[in-house]
Amino acid sequence: MKLLDVLLPRLPHNKLIVTLVTPKNMLLKSVAERVGIFFFYKSDDDYSDLQAPLIKMLEQGEGFSIIPVSMDGKPLPSGLSPITKPMKAMPNNLVS
């Protein structure tokens, strides 16, 4: 493992990764300073449960403000998103 720690910074592809990833991270942090994310979910929806770790990663890694909104008033089974704003009814202007 120590050999890898010594070699990785010297590998040419590592410089390419740093060159590509750093501007993306800077852009995400810049956006996170100005906007937040509403995370609408249902406790029994598998896709909501799959998206929760990604949303948490944006919150912790990039600094986004996340407002989780439960569509059914219950938390996700994984517990990654606490209920903060239970949605009582769908507004008419959001229904297509």
Structure tokens at 34: 């100005």
Write out the residue range of the structural domain in which residue 14 sits.
1-34
Q: Are residues 48 and 28 in the same domain?
A: no
Structure tokens at 24: 């993306």
For the entire predicted model, the pTM comes to 0.61
Q: Are residues 81 and 40 in the same domain?
A: yes
Q: Are residues 30 and 51 in the same domain?
A: no
For residue 95, tell me if it sits in a domain: no
CA distances from 14 to 2, 10, 24, 27, 62 (A): 17, 7, 16, 20, 21
Q: Are residues 13 and 46 in the same domain?
A: no
Q: Report the pLDDT value the prediction gives residue 96, as an integer from 0 to 100.
A: 45
Label residue 22 by pLDDT band (50, 70, 90): confident
Average pLDDT value for the chain: 75
- Among residues 45, 46, 51, 77, which one has the least CA distance to residue 66? 51
Structure confidence by residue, pLDDT tens digits, 75-88: 888 877 665 555 56
Instruction: State the total domains in the chain.
Output: 2
Structure confidence by residue, pLDDT tens digits, 40-92: 999 899 999 899 999 998 899 889 999 888 888 888 888 776 655 555 665 55
Angle CA 73–76–79, to nearest 5: 120
